[in-house]
Amino acid sequence: MDKGICIVVKNEPIADQVYRMVLEGELVQHLTQPGQFLHVKCGDGIDPLLRRPISICDVDIEQQLLTLIYRAEGKGTKLLAEKVAGEKVDILGPLGHGFPITERKVGEKALLVGGGVGVPPLYYLAQELVKRGVEVSTVIGFGEANQVFLDSEFSELGATRVTTIDGSFGEKGLVTDVLDQGFAADFDVLYSCGPLPMLKALQQRYTQNEREAYISIEQRMGCGVGACLACVCKPNPELSSKSYYKICTDGPVFNIGEVIL
Ligand SMILES: Cc1cc2nc3c(=O)[nH]c(=O)nc-3n(C[C@H](O)[C@H](O)[C@H](O)COP(=O)(O)OP(=O)(O)OC[C@H]3O[C@@H](n4cnc5c(N)ncnc54)[C@H](O)[C@@H]3O)c2cc1C
Ligand code: FES
């Protein structure tokens, strides 16, 4: 873990209430594992006191650039949306355990399933998998057309399907509807991040499956470093002898079925 000041290069809206922030800083050289997160100080003073966890969406180690995509919905993220080029952002990270990718082999097939603000970490993951020669298929879901982002970026990396609940973009329905149609059904490994109902649906489907599958949980956090217990969740007693997991340090990525959702 590192703590550093990054400089805002760009911070612009890319969808309804969703912003893409590009930052520059030495911290970037440590951001090598997709699925890890950064704890971002959103304001300049002590209000809000708590940092906000945001996933690493894209990294350019050579240029020392880092991209975050976030939804400006509450106090902290709305302050973040006000930052302009040249301003400083105080960042702690990388934190947590990311998506396991070192065992992936050339020619394997990965299925990525994301929803809403769970989509950004999957983009960095997709790029790293493609670099390793893994075939990536992605399905991402949003509420409606004006909330959709990263669809064309994923399309450049592999087969991509987009769903919206109201059908205003891509296919009408949920990401699981696309899976029901048999999309990328022959995957070797599944990676997912998104809203709890989506993760629950995937967990019901794939826990008994023989294939590797991982979910990343975006839950409320306080300290982000294992000290405050704000982020605890219950492990599946069949798979773990621990009485609780801290999502910030034991996760946010877990084997599917490892946590009771
Ligand atoms: C590991 C991880 C990665 C994440 N990555 C992203 C991302 O890439 N893009 C993105 O838009 N969002 C992401 N989130 C969710 C994001 O952290 C929350 O939306 C954000 O903290 C809400 O802060 P706020 O100031 O908008 O809301 P407020 O209502 O002001 O937040 C109040 C408090 O609740 C916490 N909180 C509220 N909602 C959440 C939540 N869903 N998850 C965690 N803490 C929450 C805040 O940290 C803060 O302590 C991630 C969450 C986690 C845990
Ligand atoms: S956020 Fe404090 S222990 Fe996880």
Q: Is the CB of 248 under 6 A from ligand 2?
A: yes
Nearest partner of 125 among 152, 158, 173, judged by Cα: 158
What does 152-163 look like in DSSP terms, one character per residue?
A: HHHHTTS-EEEE
> How far is it, in rounded angstroms, from Cα 22 to Cα 66?
6
Q: Is the CB of 226 under 6 A from ligand 2?
A: yes
Q: Is the CB of 95 under 6 A from ligand 1?
A: no
| pLDDT tens by residue, the chain, 261 residues | 678 899 999 999 999 999 999 999 999 999 989 999 999 999 988 889 999 999 999 999 999 999 999 999 999 999 999 999 999 999 999 999 999 999 999 999 999 999 999 999 999 999 999 999 999 999 999 999 999 999 999 999 999 999 999 999 999 999 999 999 999 999 999 999 999 999 999 999 998 878 999 999 998 999 999 999 999 999 999 988 999 999 999 999 999 999 999
Which of 221, 231, 232 to mutate for ligand 1's pocket (most ligand atoms within 8 Å of CB)?
221
Nearest partner of 18 among 140, 154, 121, 147, judged by Cα: 147
Q: Please report the pLDDT score of residue 185 as a whole number.
A: 96
Q: Please report the pLDDT score of residue 258 as a whole number.
A: 95
Q: Please report the pLDDT score of residue 207 as a whole number.
A: 87
State the Cα torsion 113-97-204-235 to the nearest 10°.
Answer: -160
Q: With 0-12 CB in 10 A as exposed, 13-18 as middle and 19+ as buried, what is 45?
A: exposed
Q: Is the CB of 117 under 6 A from ligand 1?
A: yes
Q: Please report the pLDDT score of residue 3 as a whole number.
A: 80
Going by C-beta distance under 8 Å and a sequence separation of 6 or more, which residues neighbour residue 166? Answer: 143, 144, 172
Residue whose CA is closest, atom 27 of ligand 1?
74
Q: Please report the pLDDT score of residue 210 as a whole number.
A: 83
> Residue 201 corresponds to which tokens in the numbers above?
């649906």
Amino acid type, 141: G
CB atoms within 10 A of CB 228: 14
Q: Please report the pLDDT score of residue 74 as a whole number.
A: 96
